[in-house]
Amino acid sequence: MFSKEEKDAVYKAIYTRRDVRSFLSTPVPAEAIHNILHAAHQAPSVGFMQPWNFIIVSSDETKERLAWAADKERRALAIHYEEEEGKETKFLGLKVEGLKEAPITICVTCDPTRGGSHVLGRNSIPETDALSTACAIQNMWLAACAEGLALGWVSFYKKNDVRDILDIPPHVDPIALLSIGYTENYPTAPILETAKWETRRVLQELVFTNKWGERHG
């Protein structure tokens, strides 16, 4: 059983975790990185296949190359918002500088071949290996928050660019680039919410009972 203080700490990490884009150059303690990776490795995975690997990037040159890959894709994606007034500017304003600023970037990968051809659960729903990796990333986010660190997930890049930069085998999927470091500006709300990109939906409108569309409660 969790004590009230322990439960409060769990929910505090969940509710205060943010996707951060601005970092200090202050070094991150090796123990903190170990704790974050250990938390990731405790994540549930389909068929217990543990499909993840973690590439820790501290080289400034490599981080610059990753930032280039992300910025190239960001500019390409901005075309989709040209007709929506203000959105293109806001989209281009989302910084990829965090990849260069943060002392550490971790590439989290997913190996769909791990565990062989017949992994319990994955046979029915193949993408559960990527979903398992996402569970590991969420653990990293919560652990980073508990360690007093900021974490930013860069979600736009061509996977083959990242494979080339980090020498990742062709069959391995680079799921995420995560920048980790300290920050002076830890957001109190999601960045895209404060930027008026979108508002948080009302939970009650997303919950159904027994079948799709049947409102709960």
Please report the domains of the chain, with CATH numbers, ordered by start residue: 21-184+193-206 (3.40.109.10)
- Whether 190 shows a pLDDT value over 70: the answer reads yes
Round to whole Å and give the CA distance between 35 and 88.
Answer: 38
Instruction: Give the number of C-alpha atoms closer than 13 A to the C-alpha of residue 163, restricted to the C-beta side.
Output: 12
Helix (H/G/I), strand (E/B), else coil: 63: helix
Q: What is the DSSP letter of 78?
A: G
For residue range 90-138, what is the model confidence (pLDDT) as tens digits?
655 566 888 999 999 999 999 999 988 888 888 899 999 999 999 999 9
- Which pLDDT does position 74 carry in this prediction? 85
- Whether 85 shows a pLDDT value over 70: the answer reads no
User: Whole-prediction pTM value?
Assistant: 0.92
Q: What is the DSSP letter of 118?
A: -
Amino acid at 53: N
Round to whole Å and give the CA distance between 212 and 139.
Answer: 30
Cβ burial of 114 (10 Å; 0-12, 13-18, 19+) is: middle
- Whether 42 shows a pLDDT value over 80: the answer reads yes
End-to-end CA distance of the chain: 29
- Whether 160 shows a pLDDT value over 80: the answer reads yes
- Which pLDDT does position 131 carry in this prediction? 96
Neighbouring C-beta atoms of residue 100, cutoff 10 Å? 16
For tokens 């009972």, the residue is: 209
